[in-house]
Amino acid sequence: MALFLLIPSVVLLLLLILLPITRFLSKSLPLPPGPPGLPIIGNLHQLDISDLAVYLWGLSKRYGPLMSLRLGNVQTLVVSSAEMAKEILKTNDLVFCTRPILTGQQKLSYDNKDIAWSPYNEYWRQMRKICTLHLFSMKQVNLFRTVREQEVFDMIDRIKTRSSTKQAVNLSEDVMILYSNIICRVAFGKRPSAYNYRKKGKRLGELMLECQVMFANFFYRDYFPLMGWLDKLNGSIARLEKTFKDMDEFYQEVIDEHLNQNQPNKMQDDMVDILLKLKQDYSNDITFDHVKGVLMNILLAGTGTSASTVVWAMTMLIKNPEFLKKVQHEVRDAVGKKGKVEEDDLYKLDYLKAVIKEALRLYPAVPLLLPRESRDQCILEGYKIPKKTLVYVNAWAVGRDPKCWDRPEEFDPERFMGSNLEYKGADFEWIPFGSGRRGCPGLLMGTTAVELALSNLVYSFDWELPEGTIDIDTLKTKGTVMHKKNELLLVAKVP
């Protein structure tokens, strides 16, 4: 009996002694190394935001795969190797699975009532579970198959018309139109052009662009809480309010249209219908603001990411014609003279999938993933990571980690042939969709739409550089989604 009482007492005593010691030790541990900064602003003045992922990758070669920066008041960690990405996204996922509160994102997500920018909490857990089941599941993705096929075949027809005049095709523009059409039809039941009649308001495409600008905008209050007044003074807050109001009017119009049972030409069960049904079923938890927040995620997360992936894949294929030939051979062989690639054919196209994976390794659509924030203090590799540290996982750098990739700068789809690297994010040397609790829930929807478009592009045309063009540049845009900066202009020839 005495022993029965003695053992727990000893354990308790040890805990009482050890806990303060570990706390003390972890407090005295250093932060990960990083470039020295200036008082008050820290490293903010050094950041080259025109090509942030590449700039941070360069710095990490000097300071290591766990690198500290101080952005104004905000302690920041940049992660640049597969090994350390695994520490953040898997081993310590529960510590790093919340998002920072950022002014632009907070406003445009109705106070984080969305999925992407919501902090990690009970609301997010429920909403993500519900949306994964009802919006992003395989069953749901399959339901929208006809929309994807119609839109891709329409794009191919448009390119065919232009190819007969030998005009160069602006693939960046065509592919962006394609994915805006697909996402709007899947989400609202209509193409975006249906909303372009708006006289007072802006067109939907312009509005979406404005949201992206606001997401990437520098708000003083995010880094210097006492200097938020500067955001008012320089007009950032007024611009954000205006963007919010325009978007809100748009969502409201779409919702009113869906609530009106008599609307003409209505497609059955688009995403707004599903969200409105969920709002009814979970009337205590889901409001119109939640519906609008999730709509914002679908609109903005689903278009640019897929479009940039197709454009980078085509850029890489044109720059490496031997791989273009191989992938054309695979697709044309598998599909024969049918005239188009349908979704049923995609399972036969291993080489095409390898091309897309390799393009995503070298040009991940979201090169710094979405930022995370630590929910608690934690120790990594003997360094202290304080609570509320802003965390960037640099997928651009991870995809080029020489410890994981042979000839990392070379485009070679064959490295993915026969490899079991999967999209789901379990392999940390390749994380274009992130991983763990906050990994991309739209992965299946995104990859299916990318595979269908790319396979039809290489099946239907032979591609050449326009006359007088010697090579294609790989300059990138700034912002969360990394597009090719200069539009991809190519000549399409019907074989």
Binding residues for heme: 440
Closer Cβ to ligand HEM, 103 or 435, answer by number: 435
Closer Cβ to ligand HEM, 41 or 426, answer by number: 426
Q: How far is CA 129 from the centre of its chain?
A: 19
> Min. distance of Cβ 345 from ligand HEM in angstroms?
20
Q: 244's torsion region: left (phi>0), alpha (psi -120 to 50) or beta?
A: alpha
Annotated binding site: 440
> Min. distance of Cβ 305 from ligand HEM in angstroms?
3
Two structure tokens written together for 185: 């039809």
> Min. distance of Cβ 149 from ligand HEM in angstroms?
16
Closer Cβ to ligand HEM, 59 or 183, answer by number: 183
Interface residues toward ligand HEM, by CB under 6 A: 115-116, 128, 297-298, 301-302, 305-306, 309, 365-366, 369-370, 432-435, 438-442, 445-446, 450
> Min. distance of Cβ 323 from ligand HEM in angstroms?
20
Of 135, 170, 445, 179, residue with least CA distance to 303: 179
d(Cα 38, Cα 168) in Å, to the nearest integer?
49
Tokens 């609570």, residue located:
387
> Min. distance of Cβ 48 from ligand HEM in angstroms?
21
Closer Cβ to ligand HEM, 333 or 422, answer by number: 422
Of 242, 239, 251, residue with least CA distance to 293: 251
> Min. distance of Cβ 190 from ligand HEM in angstroms?
16
Closer Cβ to ligand HEM, 341 or 491, answer by number: 341
Closer Cβ to ligand HEM, 115 or 272, answer by number: 115
Closer Cβ to ligand HEM, 53 or 365, answer by number: 365
> Min. distance of Cβ 294 from ligand HEM in angstroms?
8
Closer Cβ to ligand HEM, 219 or 396, answer by number: 396
> Min. distance of Cβ 142 from ligand HEM in angstroms?
15
